[in-house]
Amino acid sequence: MIEEFKVLTNEEVETMLKAPILVTILIAGADNEIDKSEMQQAISITKLKQKKARLDLIDYYKEVATDFEDKLKVTIQQYPSSAAERNPLIIKELEDLNAILPRLSSHFAIEFFASIKDLAKKIAESSGGLLGYMAVGYEESKLIGLKMIKDPSQ
């Protein structure tokens, strides 16, 4: 178990581990279509973060990366296909982090929040634009700041 999570309930741990999947679905599906490049970007980032994440998050990402692609596909199937129906459900789940993050060490919470915001930004940039790079669509731009999660540094 991740050391930081010892103070959490099993349900809270599950919410923390599910957060990157939810962020992926929210951002990738913001324009109503979750395309392959966005999913591949999320999978690649998650694998990379096992080795190159902020030091405090390496164990977290090792846990998250386990079967990430399969979990992502299964989770996508559990939500409505329309972004208008899906996004409010995902936003509500991500808001659950607001009760969890204050229970973790301040440093870990800040690093975690910065990391999932980075994930959101990279997924948003992975589709569209010149040769598929560096373009964030309008719908994605409204969500990549993850404003439904209170910034633990404030």
**Taking the model in full, what pTM does it have?**
0.91
Q: State the Cα–Cα distance between residues 52 and 49, nearest whole angstrom.
A: 5
pLDDT of the residue at 136: 63
N- to C-terminal Cα separation, the chain: 28
Whether 100 has a pLDDT exceeding 80, the answer reads: yes
Measured in whole angstroms, how far is the alpha carbon of residue 119 from the centre of its chain? 6
Residues 6+ apart with CB under 8 A from 77: none
pLDDT digits (tens, 9 = 90+) for 112-151: 999 999 999 988 887 654 444 456 666 777 888 899 999 9
Residue in the block written with tokens 């940039």: 125
* Lowest mean pLDDT, pick from 10-24, 30-44, 102-116: 30-44
Quickly count: other Cβ atoms within 10 Å of residue 36's Cβ: 10
Mean pLDDT for the chain overall? 89
Beta-carbon count within 10 A of 121 CB: 16
Give the Cα separation of 73 and 34 in Å (integer): 11
Instruction: Give me the pLDDT at residue 95, please.
Output: 98
Distance between CA atoms of 57 and 28, rounded to whole angstroms?
23
- Return d(Cα 33, Cα 46) in angstroms, integer: 21
Q: What is the pLDDT of residues 3-23, one digit of tens each?
A: 999 999 999 999 999 999 999
Q: Which residues pair with 130 in a beta bridge?
A: 133
DSSP 1: -
